[in-house]
Amino acid sequence: MSGAIRHVTISGRVQGVGYRAWVDEQATSRGLEGWVRNRRDGSVEAVFAGADDVVADIIAACGRGPFSARVDAVHAGTGNSDLLNLRRAGERFSVLPTV
């Protein structure tokens, strides 16, 4: 894998609105690696890995989210291979359990 690995947290009304499924679909359609999960604080957390421009594009899309979501903030920082490897073995992109 070459390119960017970014660790992203999205806050707002992003749980119970299909946000994780939307992220999974968006990431898979862009050929990205990584994962997405809900957090107990009400936010959604994700890791995206792929070409710099494609990763930047999905982070921008996370600011809009699916129609039923209301995104208040998107915080993106540098990710690493340890975070990326939290995805399920054999999957390019995973929807993980809530933490």
Say whether 38 is catalytic: yes
Residue 98: inside a domain:
no
Catalytic one of 6, 20, 37, 87: 20
The 10s digit of each residue's pLDDT in 28-59 is 999 999 999 999 999 999 999 999 999 999 99
Say whether 92 is catalytic: no
User: Would you call 31 helix, strand, or coil by DSSP?
Assistant: coil
Residue 52: inside a domain:
yes
Enclosing domain of residue 23: 4-89
What's the CATH code of the domain at 36? 3.30.70.100
Residue 63: inside a domain:
yes
- The pTM assigned to this predicted structure is 0.95
Dihedral through CA 66, CA 23, CA 78, CA 13, nearest 10? Answer: 40
What lies within 8 Å, CB to CB, of 8 at 6+ separation is 45, 46, 47, 48, 59, 62, 74, 75, 76, 77
The count of domains in the chain is 1
Residue 46: inside a domain:
yes
Residue 94: inside a domain:
no
Q: For residue 21, which phi and psi values (nearest 5 degrees)?
A: -60, -40
